[in-house]
Amino acid sequence: MSDKVYNALFLCTGNSARSIMAEKLLDHWGKGRFKTFSAGSQPAGKVNPFAIETLKSHSLSVEGLRSKSWDEFAVEGAPHLDFVFTVCDNAAGEVCPYWPGQPMTAHWGVEDPAAVEGTDEEKLRAFKTVARHLENRIKLFTSLRLEAFDRLSLKDEIDKIGKTKD
């Protein structure tokens, strides 16, 4: 087994919910194999309170979370990225910055829980559902022996994970 630590970036438009939850879920399930980040093309400026509540319900730390621009990861001195995942349809269709080092990319789109209308209980339920979908995909991803794949085979695997029905 490799001791390499992989850098993974999750992208969404606002970087306030899905990408934030994915970042923390991979940090947890990756068990030190990944350094995780999240960002958005048009950051909301704050993390959605339901995303924070959902992460806390999973006993995950929310310390230091902030909504940030993907531009932070496209400048000199930014972490080298091994994987870039889009988790919302808007970010998947946008022209992304150039990521040095040609990271592997995949689209793992999930519904936007922040778009749910209703009571706070209904909104929280939507966030928890999305977190479960992301968590299932992340568990599949972390079960892969990444070093055992050639680049093309690994790309196929991470694309398949993005198409899994939870």
Distance of alpha carbon 57 from alpha carbon 85, whole angstroms: 24
Given the residues 96, 116, 140, 154, select the one marked as catalytic. Answer: 96
Distance of alpha carbon 82 from alpha carbon 34, whole angstroms: 10
Tell me which residue has tokens 């209904």.
122
Residue 12 among the catalytic residues:
yes
DSSP class per residue in 117-137: -S-HHHHHHHHHHHHHHHHHH
Residue 13 among the catalytic residues:
no
Given the residues 12, 91, 131, 138, select the one marked as catalytic. Answer: 12
Distance of alpha carbon 49 from alpha carbon 42, whole angstroms: 18
CA dihedral 135, 15, 109, 75 (to 10 degrees): -100
Given the residues 88, 92, 104, 131, select the one marked as catalytic. Answer: 88
CA dihedral 101, 66, 134, 128 (to 10 degrees): 180
Tell me which residue has tokens 């992304």.
96
Residue 72 among the catalytic residues:
no
Q: Which residues are catalytic?
A: 12, 88, 96
